[in-house]
Amino acid sequence: MKTLNIAIAGFGGVGRTTAALLLSRRARYQRLHDTQVRLVAVCGSRAGLADPAGLEPGRLERLEAGLSGPGFITGSGADVLIEAGPSDFRTGGPGLGYLEAALAAGMDTIVISKGALVHSGPRLRDIAGRSGARIRLSGAAAAALPTLDLVRHSLAGNEVVSLEGILNATTNYLLDAMMSRGLGFEAALDEARAGGFAEADPRNDTEGWDTACKLLLIANFGLDGALEMRDIAVQGIQDVTPGMIADWTARGLSPRLVGSLSRSEGGLRGEVGIRTYPSDDPFAGVRGKAKAIRIVTEAMGETVAIGHAAEPLATAAAALKDLEHLLAAGRAAPSDAGKDPA
């Protein structure tokens, strides 16, 4: 039986949920993939824990101070890094350092936080290509909604003509609350904060930046694009007024914050902003914290997927879906590693 050692960098709610789900699935990995999967290291920003024989659930409650950082992860004996730390697309940190070190060491990486891949995606792909490592990022590209799986696998061989996605659960909840219950923006935001799914500082969500990050990852890692954040026109929902809500209601339209991609002679074009949909459009039925994606290809027409799952479990499951793909594929040859980053 083969052995695969896993490390997790970033041990907040998502990282801990991923660890628990991983350990609960060990029998599955043995049965289906003939592989003993061991969690050999975890760390947060200041503390961590490591054991080459594998960590059990009861040992993960008390981390040891000082066991943290890229060197701690690369020295742990892990074959795969799951990066689940905080995300900052403007600097790439703190995940960027972990990913640079892991990929340079030839470790496959499963990325949950978006920041490093948005900030330095081409460079990280180059590092992976040189070392033979693989990058997977379902958790970063809308988590439980299968965005990358659709464009790279389910629709393989087809040219994507256009794509649009409701990719941020918080903004979809806010717009739905404003439309269906007449709440103002601030009241809806307070409700979302009380429910635990809106950040204390929600501007990355409400101003459209989170949607733009996910859109960029879909474009670059799913459609082989070369977009930078400056290439995407971004507008959010923070300026929605009661008058706009009344107008949309009177016309029977449902507003959604949508990230869209279209093809032109210059390549992919990206945009984030509010679009409105009539009641018979599938996007009009995407309510609350649900997400959705619509992809139009030249040969297979229109494909729509809608997802609504509880966090952080959904994101953890998306990351471990990537692990299943890695296990099923086996170790990639170095010459192939940089060609299939998604």
pLDDT per residue as tens digits for the range 286-321: 999 999 999 999 999 999 999 998 899 999 999 999
Q: How confident is the model at residue 197 (pLDDT cuts 50, 70, 90)?
A: confident
Which pairing describes strands 80-83 and 2-9: parallel, antiparallel, or unpaired? parallel
- Greater model confidence, 310 or 206: 206
Amino acid 136: pLDDT: 98
Phi-psi region of 224 (alpha: psi -120 to 50; beta: other; left: phi over 0): left
Whole-angstrom Cα distance, residue 64 to residue 87?
23
pLDDT band at 243 (very low <50, low <70, confident <90, very high): very high
pLDDT at 172 (0 to 100): 97
**pLDDT average, residue stretch 126-147:** 96
Of all residues in the chain, the percent with pLDDT exceeding 90 is 90
Rg (CA), the chain: 20
pLDDT > 70 fraction of the chain, expressed in percent and rounded: 96
Residue 334 pLDDT level (bands cut at 50, 70, 90)? very low
At 331 the pLDDT is: 53
Pick the closest to residue 227 from 191, 270, 287 (CA basis). Answer: 270
Q: Has domain 147-307 been given CATH number 3.90.1300.10?
A: no
Cα 144 to chain center, whole Å?
8
Other CB atoms within 10 A of residue 218 CB: 32
* pLDDT score of 338: 42
C-alpha separations of 86 from 67, 134, 211 in Å: 18, 21, 16
Please check the confidence at residue 106 and state whether its pLDDT lies above 90: yes
pLDDT score for 336: 37
pLDDT over 80 (residue 49): yes
- Banded model confidence at residue 274, pLDDT cuts 50, 70, 90: very high
pLDDT number for residue 304: 98
43: left (phi over 0), alpha (psi -120 to 50) or beta: beta
pLDDT at 9 over 70: yes
Does the pLDDT at position 335 exceed 70? no
Tell me what the mean pLDDT of segment 181-199 comes to.
92
DSSP assignment of 46-64, as one string? SEEEE-TT---GGGTTSPE
pLDDT band at 267 (very low <50, low <70, confident <90, very high): confident
323 pLDDT band, cuts 50/70/90, is: very high
Residues of the chain with CATH 3.30.360.10: 147-307
Tokens of 278: 């009539």
- Give the pLDDT of residue 156: 95
The average pLDDT across 260-284 equals 94
Is the pLDDT reported for residue 340 higher than 90?
A: no
pLDDT at 198: 86
CATH 3.40.50.720 corresponds to the domain 2-144+313-337: yes
* Mean pLDDT computed over 117-122: 96
Average pLDDT score over the chain: 94
Report the pLDDT value the prediction gives residue 110, as an integer from 0 to 100.
98
Q: What is the mean pLDDT of residues 162-177?
A: 97
- Give the tens place of pLDDT for each residue, 211-227: 999 999 999 999 999 99
Examine the pLDDT at 339 and tell me if it is beyond 80: no
> pTM for the full model?
0.93
